[in-house]
């Protein structure tokens, strides 16, 4: 009898649980995106979310304008303080292909939402850093979030917009990136002059929170294709290879090309590259799909994209030292130069995106990369004169080159990628940018540290604040000229390869 009664109690309990579950399901609210997805303008709601995520990621130029202030605060040389900016790019770059692979496997929207949360939290913690090394670590965490945002954003747009409108979408998102890139130095210069460096991190907390909440409401939590096997070996090898290569460049300018540490990093990078190729050729689903590099438009697009962004970050990394330490400008004034250089995307990129849909990409890519190279060349040659009018002309010409090249290049690369590899292709484009940005920053600061210290007849590890303005102008000018040469070589590559094809 006890057993019968016990079974009845269990049965009653199960019935109540079933009723409760049904009641919960009845009061559950559907995800807002399920009602919105059928609307004709839903694609533009998705665009708003992606544009905000892009803005949050690209406003990291706000950090570059604070580099002179950070170098002074922590009393370190350019090769050290540049890692406050570059740690973000290095980690983001090292994880970009991995995050593209993850976004295809587990869902692009999910990856974007988690990335927004992570990058927002890391910005808040960066404002609390007590020394330069804490700040570099926290910036590395922000780089993880950035990799998630960038690797998924373009793929989300390509999957949302019809093929005939993708050029427009790419142009508009490039314009959104321009808003972030331009407003970063403008806002950052003002905050550094009015408050201190911590303000550049506090200011981005509300932007991140709003972006995260909108993404939760407007994006569907779609599942990806599923990942049958994790390419842990490929992701790890890729990160080690890239990091070793970049550290070799960075330390070569600081301690000399023939130093054992530089040699060690170089050997690790070479071994890592050979290992990476072998690992990825055997992987079921590689983070770096080498099949894409068999496509001529893809290969050309990636190589020239890297050349362009080497120039982009040379300006970001070196201009603050040139303008603030070399010419004596305030941070706000220097921020205006760098901000408008990036702001050229706003009036130019959307139109270039539409034009690339009709005319194709090669001619626009040629024009853009040549304009950037010429602008950088002339900045390097004339900056020591201190003529603000000519500086404005060359900064704006370089910015117009970026605004012309970027949307045409993005469209050309993504048009060559199969639909099932859009996430990987998107990550490849973003990784190409990050590689160029990182190499540009590291190469430029290595040249700057080496030649400016040589001109001042001091050690390359001398703090920037202790260098004379003439040495800073010489070192920065040399860095600009070298980046200009790389960009101009890229134009020759486009011309030669497309003519051959």
Q: Could you tell me the residue ranges of all domains in the chain?
A: 34-218+285-500, 232-284
- Least confident range of 57-61, 199-203, 351-355, 448-452: 351-355
Six token digits for residue 166:
């993708």
Q: Is the pLDDT of residue 176 over 90?
A: no
* Mean pLDDT within 85-94: 81
Average pLDDT, integer, range 344-357: 77
Averaging pLDDT over each range in 47-61, 88-102, 252-266, 347-361, which range is the top one? 47-61
* More confident of the two residues 16 and 400: 400
Write out 260-324 in H/E/C secondary structure: HHHHHHHHHHHHHHHHHHHHHHHCCCCCCCHHHHHCHHHHHHHHHHHHHHHHHHHHHHHHHHHHH
In this prediction, residue 298 has a pLDDT band, given cuts at 50, 70 and 90, of: confident
- HSE on the CB side for 262, CA within 13 Å? 12
Q: Give pLDDT, residue 270.
A: 92
Average pLDDT of 100-106?
Answer: 74
The helix/strand/coil state of 375 is: helix
170, 358, 401, 468 from 405: Cα distances, Å: 12, 15, 6, 36
234 pLDDT more than 70: yes
Work out the average pLDDT over 14-19: 51
What pLDDT score does 138 carry? 92
Nearest-angstrom CA–CA distance, 102 and 121 = 21
Mean pLDDT to the nearest integer, 263-269: 90
What is the tens place of the pLDDT at every residue in 454-495?
888 887 777 777 888 889 999 989 999 999 998 888 877 777
Structure tokens at 422: 């859009």
Per-residue pLDDT band for 498 (boundaries 50, 70, 90) equals low
pLDDT for 18 beyond 60: no
Q: How confident is the model at residue 28 (pLDDT cuts 50, 70, 90)?
A: very low
| Predicted TM-score of the model (pTM) | 0.74
Q: With a cut of 70, say whether residue 206 has pLDDT above it.
A: yes
Considering only residues 19 and 444, tell me which one the structure prediction assigns the higher pLDDT. Answer: 444
pLDDT at 34 over 60: no
DSSP string, 36-69: HTTSTTHHHHHHHHHHHHHHHHHTTHHHHTTHHH
Q: Which residue has the higher pLDDT, 439 or 42?
A: 439
Token output for 198 = 């911590």
Given a cut of 80, is residue 245 above it in pLDDT?
yes
Residue 94 near residue 242 (C-beta atoms within 8 A):
yes
Find the mean pLDDT for residues 16-38: 49
pLDDT at residue 175 is higher than 50: yes
| 35-50 pLDDT tens trace | 555 556 677 888 888 8
Tens-digit pLDDT profile for residues 364-398? 888 888 999 999 999 999 988 888 999 999 999 99
- What pLDDT is attached to residue 146? 87
In this structure, how many other beta carbons lie within 10 angstroms of the beta carbon of residue 492? 12
pLDDT at 31: 58
pLDDT value of position 500: 61
Does the structure show a pLDDT above 50 at 26? Answer: no
CATH for 34-218+285-500?
A: 1.20.1250.20
Residue 5 has pLDDT above 90, yes or no: no
Query: Long-range contacts of range 1-9, CB-CB < 8 Å, 24 or more positions apart?
Result: none
pLDDT bracket for residue 442 (50, 70, 90): confident
Q: Note the pLDDT of residue 393.
A: 94
Residue-wise pLDDT for 390-434, tens only, equals 999 999 999 999 888 887 877 777 777 776 666 666 667 766 777
Percent of the chain with pLDDT over 90: 14
Query: Mean pLDDT, the chain, as a whole number?
Result: 80
Weakest-pLDDT range from 294-303, 333-342, 397-406: 294-303
pLDDT at 19 over 70: no
Judge whether residue 228 has pLDDT over 70. no
Q: What is the pLDDT of residue 394?
A: 94
């Amino acid at each position: 009898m006890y057993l019968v009664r016990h079974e009845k109690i269990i049965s009653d309990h199960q019935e109540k649980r079933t009723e409760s579950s049904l009641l919960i399901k009845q009061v559950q609210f559907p995800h807002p995106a399920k009602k919105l997805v059928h609307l004709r303008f839903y694609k533009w709601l998705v665009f708003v979310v992606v544009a905000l995520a892009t803005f949050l990621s690209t406003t990291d130029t706000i950090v570059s304008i604070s580099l002179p202030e950070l170098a002074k605060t922590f009393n370190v040389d350019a090769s050290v303080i540049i890692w406050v900016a570059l740690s973000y790019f290095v980690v983001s770059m090292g994880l970009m292909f991995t995050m593209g692979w993850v976004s295809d496997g587990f869902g692009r929207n999910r990856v974007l939402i988690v990335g927004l949360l992570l990058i927002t939290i890391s910005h808040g913690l960066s404002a609390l850093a007590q020394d330069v090394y804490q700040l570099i670590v926290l910036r590395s965490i922000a780089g993880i979030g950035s990799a998630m945002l960038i690797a998924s954003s373009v793929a989300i747009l390509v999957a949302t917009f019809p093929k005939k409108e993708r050029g427009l979408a790419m142009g508009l998102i490039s314009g959104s990136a321009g808003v972030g890139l331009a407003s970063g130095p403008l806002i950052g210069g003002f905050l550094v002059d009015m408050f201190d460096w911590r303000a550049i991190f506090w200011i981005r907390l509300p932007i991140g929170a709003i972006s995260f909440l909108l993404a939760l409401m407007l994006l569907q939590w779609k599942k990806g294709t599923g990942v049958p096997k994790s390419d842990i070996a490929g992701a790890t090898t890729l990160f080690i290879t890239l990091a070793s290569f970049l550290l070799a460049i960075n330390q070569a300018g600081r301690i000399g090309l023939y130093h054992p540490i530089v040699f060690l990093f170089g050997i690790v990078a070479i071994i890592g590259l050979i290992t990476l190729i072998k690992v990825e050729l055997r992987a079921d689903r590689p983070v770096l799909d080498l099949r894409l590099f068999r496509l001529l438009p893809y290969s050309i697009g990636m190589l020239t994209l890297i050349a362009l962004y080497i120039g982009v970050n040379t300006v970001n990394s070196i201009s603050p030292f040139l303008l603030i330490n070399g010419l004596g400008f305030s941070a706000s004034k220097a921020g205006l130069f760098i901000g408008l250089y990036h702001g050229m995307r706003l009036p130019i990129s959307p139109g270039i995106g539409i034009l690339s849909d009709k005319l194709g990409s090669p001619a626009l890519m040629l024009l853009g990369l040549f304009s950037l190279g010429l602008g950088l060349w002339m900045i390097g040659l004339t900056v020591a004169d201190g003529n603000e009018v000519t500086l404005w002309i060359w900064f704006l010409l370089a910015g117009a080159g970026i605004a012309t090249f970027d949307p045409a290049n993005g469209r050309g690369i993504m048009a060559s990628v199969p639909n099932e590899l859009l996430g990987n292709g998107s990550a490849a484009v973003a990784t190409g940018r990050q590689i160029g940005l990182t190499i540009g920053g590291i190469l430029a600061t290595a040249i700057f540290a080496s030649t400016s210290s040589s001109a001042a007849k001091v050690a390359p590890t001398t703090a920037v604040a202790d260098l004379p303005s003439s040495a800073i102008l010489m070192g920065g000018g040399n860095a600009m000229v070298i980046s200009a040469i790389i960009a101009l070589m890229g134009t020759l590559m486009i011309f030669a390869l497309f003519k051959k094809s």
